[in-house]
Amino acid sequence: MARSTARVLTLLEFLQAGGIQSVATLATRLGVDERTVRRYVAQLVEMEVPVESIRGRHGGYRVAPGYRMPPLMLTDEEALTLLLGLVVGRRSGGLPIDSETVESAVGKLRRVLPRGTAARLDALLSTADLTLLGPSGRSSREALGDTDPKVLMVIAEAACDRHPVEIGYTRKDGQASERTILPYGIVARSGRWYVTGHESGTGEVRTFRVDRISNPVALPGSFNVPDDFDASATVLTSLAATPWRYQVSVRVAGTIDDLRSQFPAGLATLEPAASDNTEPWTRVRLGAERLDWVVRHFAGLGRDLLIEEPGELREHVRVLAGRLLAACGDDASKPVAAPGLGSTPG
């Protein structure tokens, strides 16, 4: 009986995808015969789900257009994406709706999740510091795509319950190893997730990128987080000591106060810069492994820029400028003065 019910719900999920589904296709996907498919459809109709039967050569079953159906069937990854999008949007003020509406949506989504998934998501939201989550040049979905949601939630649950975790970790150079950590905290920073805490092998506090972690297993035992431990500050300090592939230096028109809100905490250092006119300029320095997101972020500031280093950043600017010109249908061979992008001579 339980197996039959599960298949009926699976059939409902298939029909929720939209379009007309043939009986033969549904039978194959469910692993049953066509007669059983028709019986399952009848059960859905008895549950007042408006399943329509379409006759003809390309006929089959579909759900009546516009019908909003429970139950909400989400994978862990889909649930994590939706909840984080709502929570981060609410905290950043990026959603054009009031907090009560967001809270209501989060609550409804939370209630329809399986108990285990909901508990892990609660653990993540209660332990993760999202204050440093800012622009990374990638969409939020792409940023999450780098991280296995199941890995993230296992670590979050261990951090919440104060359990040690055994992990597989692959360093930047590709060297893999097994480690045991005490996860003090999880931090989201500029599109990436980090866990920081005590590593048993070295006896030191270390920071690990979650997208490089595999096969996390919570271990017996417990630990206490030091009273004065600041997970965000620890991650920022660790990242500042990382040898980045590119050291970026760009002069930007505007004061430090003008630009401070345009760069997440810890992403860049800002200092006054000399200029040839009376308007103030600021030198922005940051480290990066890739330059594609760097040029997009600076271009998005809408300010005059002068690139100091690295030289490769200028080529990225030229490529972006070419794409923008092409989008306008302009003759790229004609000189165009585009405020907001520039480079130092040479």
Residues 232 and 320 both lie in one domain: no
Domain extent, residue 150, equals 76-240
Q: Which residues does 246 contact at the CB level (< 8 Å), separation at least 6?
A: 287, 288, 289, 290, 291, 294, 310, 312, 313
Beta-bridged to residue 214, according to DSSP, are 168
Q: Write the CATH number for 294.
A: 3.30.70.250
For 256, the enclosing helix (H) or strand (E) is helix 256-260
Cα–Cα distance measured from residue 85 to residue 199, given in angstroms and rounded to the nearest whole number: 31
Name the CA dihedral angle for 303, 308, 313, 315, rounded to a multiple of 10 degrees. 90
- Average pLDDT in the chain: 80
* Nearest to 286, CA basis, from 259, 334, 246, 315: 246
Is 342 a residue whose pLDDT tops 80?
A: no
Q: Write the CATH number for 49.
A: 1.10.10.10
* Nearest to 63, CA basis, from 75, 45, 46: 45
Residues 260 and 230 both lie in one domain: no
Structure confidence at residue 117 (pLDDT)? 77
* Nearest to 81, CA basis, from 109, 104, 53: 109
Q: Is residue 271 within 8 Å of residue 283, measured between CB atoms? A: yes
Percent with pLDDT over 90 in the chain: 27
Give 224-281 pLDDT, tens digit per residue.
999 999 998 888 888 777 788 899 999 999 999 888 888 866 678 888 887 666 788 9
Is 92 a residue whose pLDDT tops 60?
A: no
Residues 45 and 110 both lie in one domain: no
Give 140-166 pLDDT, tens digit per residue.
444 454 778 888 889 999 999 999 999
Give the domain-ending residue among 240, 261, 283. Answer: 240
